[in-house]
Structure 1
């Protein structure tokens, strides 16, 4: 006859321990799920994971008087700007901040550094970013209406 091995039934303490382990796993799983759901909700609502923000509608264009900016090696830049306000802006933007930022952006640069279209476009992009922040996104674009180096 084959040796039959009998297995003892788990005692009450082991059964209770297994139940405690399964409850812990259930609680941990629920906590992880809750954290994942909260993170997904955050990204959907605050981090742009939901609908994309609509582009602002253009408002008035405010032309600014030309300014002369000193470049490197005795050269200068005559620059005139126009600021494209958003339709939500309550009044046309006052240009002092934009002109100050333009002076900071272009001062002491070389003529060679600003001679190519690519370099001017890059400088314009950087200037626009600073202007948008300075005007709390009431300005949506900047135009160079005059850009003369000598």
Structure 2
């Protein structure tokens, strides 16, 4: 009979071991996952080095401010617009901004003050004007800046 009593005691001793085994395996899997994640996001070679080096900006030339102009808007309103032209490095001398001002007048004339009060409309018109200015001044102008933008 002693053999029968020993078997249940061994079964009771193995029961806690069986409960601890899945917890132990789960803990090991979790540690491996955390370690792999840390390596991937922090220590991984390759893209991290490329992302750390910013793209160099193109070299910019002189900024040429132009005299502000008054542009007639719809309903008897007007826009006082000041521009500056960012030249490229290749531009030999300061550009004459007369054509840029003419293009600005054509772009903004007849608009309403409500239209021009919306930042997204202003940005769209500025992008349109920049495209026309770049076409008019090939390899000379790379950006335009509004130095005044007042509606009344």
Which range, TM-score by smaller chain? Answer: 0.5 to 0.7
1:82 corresponds to which residue? 84
Give CA deviations for 1:58-111 in whole Å, capped at 9, x if unaligned: 100000000000000000000000000001100111100100000000001111
1:109 corresponds to which residue? 111
Structure 1: state its 5+ residue gaps.
Answer: 1-53
Q: Paired residues, what number?
A: 97
When the two structures are superposed, what TM-score results if normalisation uses the length of structure 1?
A: 0.62
- Name the structure where helix makes up a greater proportion of residues: 2
1:136 corresponds to which residue? 138
1:99 corresponds to which residue? 101
Structure 2: state its 5+ residue gaps.
Answer: 1-55
What is the CA RMSD across the aligned residues, in angstroms? 1.3
2:123 corresponds to which residue? 121
Equivalent residue of 1:88, what SS?
coil
Q: What is the CA–CA distance in structure 2 between the aligned matches of 1:69 and 1:137, rounded to whole Å?
A: 28
Structure (1 or 2) with the larger CA radius of gyration: 2
Q: What is the CA–CA distance in structure 1 between the aligned matches of 2:57 and 2:142, rounded to whole Å?
A: 9
